[in-house]
């Protein structure tokens, strides 16, 4: 099985497979390493991030744990592994660890000299110092993030409507327009906006305000309801790139914790939580079966399931260790069959 979407045999350009005299192909030298997984994806795999102007690896590295459950040194090791495997998109938020996540990423970008190679996505609106999306706090939040990240621009600015239901959408977009015109922000994303608000935002865009081109939805095989029909319809009609967060349901879909989905009992009530955990157990068994068939970990299957969904461009996935990144990246090259998709879907109902 080729994990990375390439054949596990040596490529035709390999010196070991070059034609010998008489035009006969030589086989690999007996001492050559066995190419079990094929070459790394590298930097040649890129997809358009909607109409944002950016092209990214179809797996965005989330930094929610940096500065919280993952220290600076380990965070940098995770980022190094991701970049070495061809990744070029990093997502953080001003509220992650009260800004420590941004500090860690900023130090890494500066020390590695990779700012121009990385598509930097930042969610704002949740920091205690500059809460919400009102004009003043939005500008202050972006300036603070730029300082922590040690950069002069944010490639994708996610406006977090879950933190602010009061600010006028027009005022927010007018402020974003100034941020784009000054070069501090290159494109806009959104999280927490309803389908109706996204339609309203497109109407404002027709009047000259910047367009929202990227949409973050908490979405995975167990949380399909959050990406409802109206939101799908609007995202598709507007050509938005969908970048689902909570891709592994707080790590549950990676298969490492199999007792209960974290937070289910406290958030959903006992009956709903019990049902969710039953579905979770069935889903994990389905992921186990597909993973065993393909020779990849559960996390890779969960990523592959998301990438098989219409409109999904790249999931946002947090990692706790470099080896987790290696597992996740395998999912980019996995192509699930209709039968496998059907098995996973039935298990998660």
CB burial string 20-35: b at 16+ within 10 A, e below: eeeeeeeeeeeeeeeb
Tokens representing residue 92 in the block: 């953080």
Tokens representing residue 227 in the block: 């990406």
Q: How far apart are CA 229 and CA 132, in angstroms?
A: 27
Burial of 290 (0-12, 13-18, 19+ CB in 10 A): buried
Q: How far apart are CA 249 and CA 179, in angstroms?
A: 33
Phi, psi of 213 (to 5 degrees): -110, -10
The count of other CB atoms within 10 Å of the CB of residue 244 is: 25
Q: What's 56's DSSP letter?
A: E
3, 96, 158, 193: the catalytic one is 96
Among candidate residues 34, 39, 118, the one with its CA nearest the CA of residue 85: 39
Q: How far apart are CA 306 and CA 60, in angstroms?
A: 13
> How far is the CA of 279 from the CAs of 41, 158, 266, in angstroms?
33, 31, 17
* DSSP β-ladder status, 119-124 and 156-160: parallel
96 is catalytic: yes
Catalytic (active-site) positions: 96
């Amino acid at each position: 099985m080729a994990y990375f979407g390439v054949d596990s045999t040596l490529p035709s350009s390999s010196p070991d497979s070059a034609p010998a005299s008489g035009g006969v192909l030589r086989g690999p030298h007996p001492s050559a390493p066995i190419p079990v997984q094929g070459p790394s994806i590298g930097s040649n795999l890129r997809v358009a991030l909607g109409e944002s102007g950016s092209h990214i690896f179809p797996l965005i590295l989330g930094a929610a744990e940096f500065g919280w459950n993952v220290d600076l040194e380990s965070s940098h090791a995770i980022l190094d592994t991701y970049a070495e495997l061809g990744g070029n998109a990093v997502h953080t938020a001003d509220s992650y660890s009260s800004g420590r996540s941004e500090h860690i990423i900023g130090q890494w970008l500066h020390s590695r000299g990779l700012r121009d190679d990385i598509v930097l996505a930042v969610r704002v609106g949740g920091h205690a110092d500059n809460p919400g999306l009102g004009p003043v706090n939005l500008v202050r939040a972006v300036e603070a993030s730029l300082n922590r990240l040690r950069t002069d621009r944010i490639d994708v600015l996610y406006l977090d409507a879950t933190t602010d239901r009061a600010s006028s959408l027009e005022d927010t977009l007018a402020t974003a327009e100034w941020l784009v015109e000054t070069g501090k922000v290159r494109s806009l994303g959104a999280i927490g906006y309803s389908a109706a608000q996204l339609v309203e935002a497109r109407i404002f865009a027709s009047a000259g305000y910047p367009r929202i081109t990227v949409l973050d939805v908490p979405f995975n095989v167990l949380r399909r309801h959050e990406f409802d029909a109206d939101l799908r319809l609007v995202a598709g009609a507007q050509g938005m790139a969908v970048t689902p967060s909570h891709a592994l349901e707080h790590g549950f879909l990676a298969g490492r914790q199999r007792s209960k989905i974290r937070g289910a009992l406290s958030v959903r009530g006992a009956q709903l939580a019990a049902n969710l955990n039953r579905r979770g157990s069935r889903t994990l068994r389905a992921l186990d079966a597909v993973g065993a068939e393909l020779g990849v970990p559960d996390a890779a299957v969960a990523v592959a399931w998301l990438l098989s969904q219409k409109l999904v461009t790249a999931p946002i996935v947090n990692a706790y260790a470099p080896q987790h990144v290696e597992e996740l990246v395998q999912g980019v090259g996995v192509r699930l069959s209709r039968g496998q998709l059907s098995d996973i879907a039935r298990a998660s109902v």
